[in-house]
Chains A and B, each alone.
Chain A
Amino acid sequence: MRLVLLWTDIFVFVLLAVAIAFSVYASRKEHLRAPWGEIGKSSVAMSALVVLAFYLTVGILDSIHYHPKLDSGDQNSARYSTEIVSVFDWMLDSLRNKGEKTYSAPFATHLYSKELVVSGEARQQYVFSRLEHGGAHLQEQADKKLDILKTSTWAAAKAFASWILFTLVIVKFRCYRMRASWREGLRQVVCAGTRVRWRAVLLTLLVVMVIAWVSFDLSQKYHVLGTDKVGVSVLYQALKSIRTGLVIGTLTTLVMLPFAVLLGIMAGYFGGWIDDIIQYLYTTLSSIPAVLLIAAAILILQVYLDNHAAELSSAAERADLRLLFLCLILGVTSWTSLCRYLRGESLKLREVDYIQAAMALGTTHFLIILRHILPNVMHIVLITVILDFSGLVLAEAVLSYVQIGVDPTTHSWGNMINSARLEMAREPIVWWSLSAALVFMFTLVLAANLFSDAVRDAFDPRLRSGS
Chain B
Amino acid sequence: MTEAILSVDQLTAQLGAEDDPIRAVDGVSFEIQQGQTFALLGESGCGKSMSALAIMRLLPASGRIVRGTVRFAGKDLLRLSESGMREIRGAGISMIFQEPMTSLNPVLKIGQQIVESLRTHRSVRGKAARNEATALLDAVGIPSPQFAFERFPHQFSGGMRQRIAIAMALANAPRLLIADEPTTALDVTIQAQVLDLIRNLQSRHGMSVLLISHDLGVVHELADRVGVMYAGQIVENASRASFFKRPLHPYSEKLFQSLPDINKRNRSLTVIHGAVPSLKTTFEGCRFTQRCHRTLQLCSQKEPAWSGDADSRVYCHLYTVGGLQSNALAQQQESEVEDAPSNGVGVGDRLLRVRGLKIHFPLTSGVFKRITGYVRAVDGVDLEIPKGKTMALVGESGCGKTTAGKGILQLIKPSMGKIFFEGEDLVELGARSLRQKRSDFQIIFQDPYASMNPRMLVGDAIVEGLKNFDSAFKFPPKRDVIQSLLQQVGLPADSAQRYPHEFSGGQRQRIAIARAIAVRPKLIVCDEPTSALDLSVQAQILNLLKDLQRTTGISYLFITHDISVVAYLAHFVAVMYLGRIVEHGPVDQVLTRPKHPYTKALLSSVPALDADHRRQVTRLAGDVPSPASPPSGCFFHPRCNQVMPACREKYPQLFRIAKNHVTACHLYESQE
Contacts and interface: CB of A to CB of B under 8 A. Distances in A.
A–B contact, 8 Å CB criterion (strictly below): yes
Contact of B453 (A359, A364, A376): A376
A376 B456 CA distance: 10
Contacts of A353: 445-447, 450-451
B445 A356 contact: yes
B249 interface: no
B665 interface: no
Given A356-B411, A357-B443, A362-B439, A376 B451 contact: no
A117 B450 CA distance: 82
Interface string A378-403: 00000000000000000000000000
B464 A358 contact: yes
Nearest to A31: B455
Interface residues of B, number: 30
Given A356-B443, A356-B445, A357-B512, A362 B469 contact: yes
A354 B443 contact: no
Contact of B442 (A31, A361, A364): A361
Contacts of B443: 356-357, 360
Nearest to B515: A357
Contacts of A360: 409, 411, 438, 441-443
A375 interface: yes
Nearest to A359: B411
Q: Which 3 A-B pairs have the closest CB atoms?
A: A361-B465, A362-B438, A375-B455
A376 B465 CA distance: 20
A30 interface: yes
Contacts of B469: 362
A31 B499 contact: yes
7 contacts: A29-B455, A354-B450, A356-B445, A357-B512, A357-B516, A358-B453, A371-B456
B264 interface: no
A375 B456 contact: yes
B464 A361 contact: yes
B464 A30 contact: no
Interface in A163-187: none
A361 B411 contact: no
Contacts of B439: 361-362
A357 B455 contact: no
B520 interface: no
A232 to B, nearest CB: 51
Given A356-B443, A356-B445, A357-B445, A363 B468 contact: yes
A361 B456 contact: no
Contacts of A158: none
Interface string B507-547: 00000100110010000000000000000000000000000
B499 A361 contact: no
Q: Is the interface of A mostly helix, strand, loop or mixed?
A: helix
B462 to A, nearest CB: 10
A352 interface: yes
A354 B452 contact: yes
Given A30-B499, A357-B512, A362 B465 contact: yes
A372 interface: yes
Interface of B: 406, 409, 411, 435-436, 438-439, 441-443, 445-447, 450-456, 464-465, 468-469, 499, 501, 512, 515-516, 519
Contacts of A358: 453, 464
Contacts, number: 66
Contacts of B409: 360
Given A352-B450, A356-B411, A361 B519 contact: yes
A446 B500 CA distance: 37
A361 to B, nearest CB: 4
Interface residues of A, number: 19
Give the most central of B450, B455, B512: most A CB within 10 Å: B455
A368 to B, nearest CB: 10
A89 B451 CA distance: 56
Contacts of B468: 361-364
A354 B452 CA distance: 5
A15 B439 CA distance: 42
B411 A372 contact: no
B339 to A, nearest CB: 33
Contacts of B452: 354
A363 B515 CA distance: 13
Contact of B515 (A352, A356, A361, A364): A361
Interface string A342-375: 0000000000111011111111100000011001
A347 B267 CA distance: 44
Contact of B464 (A31, A352, A363, A375): A363
Interface in A1-45: 29-31
Contacts of A363: 464-465, 468
A361 B450 contact: no
Contacts of A359: 411
A371 B445 CA distance: 20
A42 to B, nearest CB: 15
Given A356-B443, A361-B515, A362-B436, 7 more contacts: A31-B454, A31-B499, A353-B445, A354-B451, A361-B442, A361-B465, A364-B468
B519 A372 contact: no
Contacts of B447: 353
A361 B435 CA distance: 8
Contacts of B501: 31
A361 B455 contact: no
A242 B451 CA distance: 47
B464 A376 contact: no
A375 B515 contact: no
Nearest to B461: A354
Contacts of B451: 353-354, 357
A389 to B, nearest CB: 25
A435 B72 CA distance: 65
A358 B443 CA distance: 10
Contacts of A29: 455
A360 B442 CA distance: 6
A363 B406 CA distance: 16
A375 B455 CA distance: 7
Interface string A401-444: 00000000000000000000000000000000000000000000
Nearest to A376: B455
Contacts of A31: 454-455, 499, 501
A361 B453 contact: no
Contacts of A362: 435-436, 438-439, 465, 468-469
A361 B514 CA distance: 12
A353 B445 CA distance: 7
A360 B443 CA distance: 7
Contacts of A375: 453, 455-456
Nearest to A354: B453
A376 to B, nearest CB: 6
Contacts of A364: 435, 468
A356 B409 CA distance: 10
A356 B525 CA distance: 13
Nearest to B434: A362
Contacts of A356: 406, 411, 443, 445
Nearest to B519: A361
Contacts of A372: 453, 456
A372 B464 CA distance: 11
Question: Could you say which of B442, B443, B516 has the most chain A C-beta atoms within 10 Å of its C-beta?
Answer: B443
A364 B445 CA distance: 20
Interface string A439-459: 000000000000000000000
Interface in A271-324: none
Contacts of B441: 360
A94 B502 CA distance: 58
Contacts of B499: 30-31
A364 B447 CA distance: 23
Contacts of B442: 360-361
A52 to B, nearest CB: 27
A352 B456 CA distance: 15
Scoring A353, A356, A371 by chain B CB atoms within 10 A of each residue's CB, the highest score goes to: A353
Contacts of B406: 356
A133 B195 CA distance: 91
